[in-house]
Amino acid sequence: MTSRRMMLLCHNVHSRVAAATQAMAEPWMIDW
């Protein structure tokens, strides 16, 4: 149970970080 929660939490954090990095990188790509 704990491992599943940790995996879910890591997945949520990873998806959030990926979305944030993509949102931050998109304007840079457009500017370039």
Buried b (16+ CB within 10 A) or exposed e, 1-16: eeeeeeeeeeeeeeee
* CA dihedral of 20, 24, 26, 31, whole degrees rounded to 10: 180
- Over residues 1-32, the pLDDT tens digits come to 689 999 999 999 999 999 988 888 777 666 65
Q: Where are the domains of the chain?
A: 1-32
Q: How far is CA 2 from the centre of its chain?
A: 22
Model pTM score: 0.54
Q: Read out DSSP for 1-32?
A: -HHHHHHHHHHHHHHHHHHHHHHHHHHHHHH-
